[in-house]
Amino acid sequence: MFDMLKKMSHRGPDSHGVYLDGQTQRSENIKELTDFVKQKSHIAIGHSRLKIVGQENTTQPYLSCDGKLSLVHNGEIYNYRELATLLYRNHLIKTTSDSEVIVHLLEEAYRGDLLEAVQKIVGLLDGMYALAVTDGRSIVVARDPVGKKPIYYLKNGPVTYFASEKKALWNGSDEPCRLFPGELLHLDQAGCRVEPGYKLEMPQIDIVDFRQAVETYKEVLAKAVRKRLSGLTESNLGVIFSGGIDSVLIAHLLQREGKNIVCYCTGTSESADIQAAEAVAADLGFQLKTSLIDEAKVEALLPEVIQNVEESGLLQVEVAIPMYLAAKLAAEDGIRVMFTGQAADEIFAGYPWYTDVLKEHGYLRLHEKLWEDLNLLYTDTLEREDKLTMAHSIELRAPYLDRDVIITAMRTSPRLKLEGIADRQRKRVHRQAAAELGVPPYLAFRAKDPAQSGSGIHQIIQNLAHRRVGKIANDVVQRNIDRDKGSLYRYGDEDYGKQYARFYLQEIEDKIKKRFIPPFLESGDSPVISAA
């Protein structure tokens, strides 16, 4: 377990805590826990803390007042103060942390069945979370319904491991399983089972008037931003910034709340994002810091980025590099919380292909497609962005993924988002709201540019790929790679530059995984063990 926590210590460098069969030990130095975690145990959970909300020098796991429950939590619960008012019995809440409230809510609901208790309270939690709780006999792991915080698990014989990152579970053969958003993982003597937790239900469309849509959206979005500022003591906040409407609106709302913000943008010196970001920052008075990239820098960064994003998909890596560098720059400035404009396109039909959906299938299918894409954000976006920022000990907050914002957007008729197939603006409600909230119209209605092309990274990856075609082709021939076992041919792509680039990135990932094979699969390990 020590090995697992060590490989994820960047997620919480401030302090560490471990629960072993009713015993708990905490330390600011993870090495001081080495002897403790070597003890044989039946159930173990561990946590590394990134101190954001709750400034006391306390470390998880948190314990219920009666000592029956122990909990670790990764994420933020934005309505924790309101939830504290639901506590009926006398609870001794020792900290101002949002996480501690969860264990006391569970204590209220617990009647001997841990799974039932967790199922009762997860729907009350407004925020992002991956949490694990034990009553000494079993463990229940929960993931938030949007999937902002990742959690993976791996079964190895009688032992089940789980962790916030795959690298803590890589063992050289088995691929860790993902706990999907809104699901629970129940571990006890009977084994390992996935159970239903809390999932968002698609609401009925009942906003069909444009003015009502804009006014309602402005209200819930402003509240979502304020909600994510509650309890923060950070003096400076970062914004992942492209100069596009989504990040500009978030930066503007933060500034309107009186917060000191620093915007971060990455790209080539000629990239659309850099040029737009500099112009916008100068116009609106935002402090902007940029990180310029070139082919040599990208080539050197590829192993580091792939190691942190834990996969080598071509598009994933292209998108990951700019965010990784922006987060790295922010970390150098001491930033611990960053905001992102992620998900506005999914809830308000911002991408060009939504016009194709409308043209081919109509508004009903467009509405369904938006909901599907929103529910798939975890797999190709949210997990990636969490890992890239947490690699630098930074928590990422996404107001557009607020529960009330999502519900409001999906109550809104798609006809108000995309006004026919000739609509090149898209996101009509979102753009109008931005303009009325104070974003200059020329920014509110700027055309969408995908992150990977806006930063210039797409062309850089393609250039690197073409330079490597010959060498990789020779390697493929020499190794006589079987098509069925996974090689260039599995992609079925006519663009050979993309094929070779993907193969090259996969080679890097394979080498990283070999380095990360852990020594935690020891014969003395317990039947249920975790590191969250």
Binding residue ranges for L-glutamine: 98
3-state secondary structure 28-83: CCHHHHHHHHCCCCCEEEEEEECCCCCCCCCCCCEECCCCCCEEEEEEEECCHHHH
Instruction: Please state the residue numbers annotated as binding site.
Output: 98
> CA 255 → CA 113, 194, 215, 252, 275, distances in Å?
46, 42, 20, 5, 21
CB 496 within 8 A of CB 155: no
Q: How far is the C-alpha of 141 from the C-alpha of 150, rounded, in Å?
A: 11
No. of helices (H) and no. of strands (E), the chain:
21, 18
Pairing type for strands 177-178 and 127-134 reads unpaired
CA atoms 378, 486, 314, 165: torsion sign: positive
Give the Cβ contact number of residue 421 at 10 Å. Answer: 12
**What is the DSSP secondary-structure string of 185-210?**
EEEETTEEEEEE---PPPPP--B--H
In whole angstroms, what separates CA 89 from the centre of its chain? Answer: 35
CA atoms within 13 A on the CB side of 151: 31
CA angle, 408 then 414 then 419, to 5°: 130
Residues with Cβ within 8 Å of 467's Cβ and at least 6 positions away in sequence, in order, are none
Q: How far is the C-alpha of 53 from the C-alpha of 30, rounded, in Å?
A: 21
Structure token digits, residue 87? 């506590």
Q: How far is the C-alpha of 325 from the C-alpha of 403, rounded, in Å?
A: 29
**Position 250: which residue type?**
I
Nearest Cα residue to 186 out of 105, 114, 124: 114
Q: How far is the C-alpha of 165 from the C-alpha of 4, rounded, in Å?
A: 9
* DSSP H helices in 349-489: 353-361, 363-375, 377, 383-390, 403-411, 428-436, 441-444, 451-454, 457-479
Structure token digits, residue 15? 């302090």
Q: How far is the C-alpha of 197 from the C-alpha of 184, rounded, in Å?
A: 5
